[in-house]
């Protein structure tokens, strides 16, 4: 397994799990910061590899996709914050190699998204608000997971519009999905989806206690994609199996 973003918090956790495993081997630890045992440029590694897992930076997607396509290596893209052009590059790559792409590598979050879609189908006229909490060093807002959950609602309510925070004088429109980002302390990740009618409120939530769950999910995704044909895969497929 090639690990991109090897010096990041989740990258380090992923490498720890690989080192402790009897079934996994670290092919290369890649990080632009460099250092002992670190490959600074992905293209410098041309050794054996079965799969690449990316926990680096969204802007690195061009280099990663070019590399995986050239070598025919399946890719697990776990980085968030991709702009439309970068997202399009991922989609393009899925026509040439197997790509597993998820804004959140937690199996629990995948289950949450499924439950959110079910709730949106049943309570079609309710107000929907999403609250996400992360540590104060997180760069992108709202989180990729919050958007993933909003998309789960939108599958049942395609006319929905996203409202990021609230300010000014305007009443809430029925088709809004409110998305609110909180950044504080060392919070690993908490997501809450609230469905509210005039008579009742249902709250679905997920809390990450340790970053190891993202590394564990990435390993599950890597094992899942190894024998898959060319195409795009997400946590829904992994959860289905």
Q: Is 134 a catalytic residue?
A: yes
Query: Could you give the dihedral angle defined by the CA atoms of residues 77, 81, 85 and 90, in that order, rounded to the nearest 10 degrees?
Result: 10
Q: Is 155 a catalytic residue?
A: no
Angle, CA 87 vertex, CA 84 and CA 89 arms, to 5°: 115
Closest CA to 79 of 70, 90, 66, 69: 90
Annotated active-site residue in 57, 138, 180, 228? 138
**Which DSSP state fits 228?**
P
Q: Which contiguous run of DSSP H or E holds residue 62?
A: helix 61-71
Q: Positive or negative CA dihedral for 72, 75, 79, 80?
A: positive
Annotated active-site residue in 82, 133, 134, 206? 134
Give Cα separations from 109 to 53, 166, 234 (angstroms).
Answer: 19, 25, 12
Instruction: Please identify every residue annotated as catalytic.
Output: 134, 138
């Amino acid at each position: 397994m090639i690990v991109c973003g090897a010096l990041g918090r989740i990258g380090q956790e992923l490498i720890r799990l690989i080192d402790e495993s009897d079934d996994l081997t670290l092919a290369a630890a890649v990080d632009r910061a460099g250092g002992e045992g670190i490959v600074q440029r992905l293209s410098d590694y041309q050794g054996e590899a079965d799969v690449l897992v990316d926990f680096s930076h969204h802007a690195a997607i061009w280099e990663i996709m070019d590399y995986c396509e050239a070598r025919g290596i399946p890719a697990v893209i776990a980085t968030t914050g991709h702009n439309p052009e970068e997202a399009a590059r991922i989609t393009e790559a899925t026509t040439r190699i197997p790509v597993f792409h998820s804004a959140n590598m937690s199996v629990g979050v995948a289950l949450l998204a499924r439950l959110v879609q079910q709730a949106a189908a049943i309570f079609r006229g309710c107000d929907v608000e999403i609250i996400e909490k992360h540590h104060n060093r997180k760069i992108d807002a709202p989180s990729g997971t919050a958007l993933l959950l909003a998309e789960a609602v939108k599958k049942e309510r395609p006319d929905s519009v996203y409202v990021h925070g609230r300010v000014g004088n305007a009443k809430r429109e029925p088709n809004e999905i409110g998305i609110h980002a909180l950044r504080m302390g060392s919070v690993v990740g908490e997501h809450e989806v609230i469905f509210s009618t005039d008579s009742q409120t249902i709250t679905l939530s997920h809390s990450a206690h340790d970053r190891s769950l993202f590394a564990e999910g990435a390993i599950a995704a890597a094992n899942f994609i190894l024998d898959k044909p060319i195409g795009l895969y997400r946590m829904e497929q992994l959860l289905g199996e």
